[in-house]
Amino acid sequence: MTEVAQNVKWIGENWKKEEVLHGKVFTFSDRPQARYAWDTGEAIGRYLAGFKQGKILGVRCRGCQRIMVPPRIFCELCFRDISEWVTLKETGRIRTFSVCYVTWDMKRIRKPQIPAVIEIDGASEGMGILHLVEAPRGDKPWERLRAGTRVQAVWKPKGLRRGAVTDIRFWRVLTGNANAGH
């Protein structure tokens, strides 16, 4: 025997689309009855209170000296308490980005989303957060953005902020810097 699979009756038979559509498959549907209300905790609670005031807060670890964002009340590397809070800038640089044309359930979206890791000015090098960049005009947005492009937070009006990461509507490319990069 040279191939192990030769004498095998293969299990794993694919339903044909027609069989599924025409109800030849008996299926039972259910939706888990589970909703969640997450506490923000000490570190992220204070971070979001900063957002409500239009400020991005970070923390500094006395051990490794890293200035970190998102903030945390313990350093996951030094494994010690952190108590020093720092107000960071509301500008930063795009570390990496994508231009996404689909939703999680694979529906197509005409106006793409541009998720990015944004390194925040005032934090240690490489300290970024996940957020959204305003889509530049044109067909191929990826040709207009670069790693290193400088961006600035665009906040919601004060009255609409509720202490959430979405209090920043998106990050806008700072003019004159579009080609700054590697």
Partner 1 sequence: MARRVAVIGAGMTRFVRRAKETSRELAFGASRMALDSCGLSLNDIDCVVHGTAPDAFDGFHMKGEYLSDGSGAFRKPYLRCYVGGGTGVFAPIQGWMHVASGLFDTCLVVCEEKMSSCQPHPQGAFNSIFDHTTERPLGPNLLWIFALEMNRYMNAYGISQRDIAGVSVKNKKNALDHPAAQVAKETTVEEVLASEVLAWPVHRLMVSPVSDGAAAVILAGEEKARRLTDRPVWIQGVGWDLDTSYWTNRDLAYPQYVENAARRAYRMAGVREPRKEIHLAEPYDPFAYKELHHLEGLLLSEKGKAPEDLARGRFDREKGELPTCPSGGLMGVGNPIAAAGLMKICELFWQLRGEAGKRQVPGKPERGLAQAWGDLMQVGTVVVMGIK
**C-alpha to C-alpha distance for 74 and 63, rounded to whole angstroms:** 11
- Record the tokens describing residue 94, joined without a space: 């795009």
> Do the Cβ atoms of 93 and 151 come closer than 8 Å?
yes
Nearer to partner 1, 81 or 164 (CB): 164
48 lines the binding site for partner 1 (CB under 8 A):
yes
> Do the Cβ atoms of 45 and 70 come closer than 8 Å?
no
**C-alpha to C-alpha distance for 182 and 75, rounded to whole angstroms:** 30
Out of 59, 99, 133, 153, the only residue in the binding site for partner 1 (CB under 8 A) is: 99
**C-alpha to C-alpha distance for 6 and 24, rounded to whole angstroms:** 31
Nearer to partner 1, 36 or 176 (CB): 36
Q: x-or-dash pattern for partner 1, window 128-147, by CB under 8 A?
A: xxxxx--------xx----x
> Do the Cβ atoms of 128 and 117 come closer than 8 Å?
yes
At its nearest, how many Å lie between partner 1 and the CB of residue 178? 16
Out of 64, 102, 154, 160, the only residue in the binding site for partner 1 (CB under 8 A) is: 102
**Residues forming the site for partner 1 (CB under 8 A):** 1-6, 8, 10-15, 20, 25, 29-30, 32, 36, 38, 40, 44, 47-48, 68, 70, 76-77, 95-106, 113, 115-117, 126-132, 141-142, 147, 164-166, 182
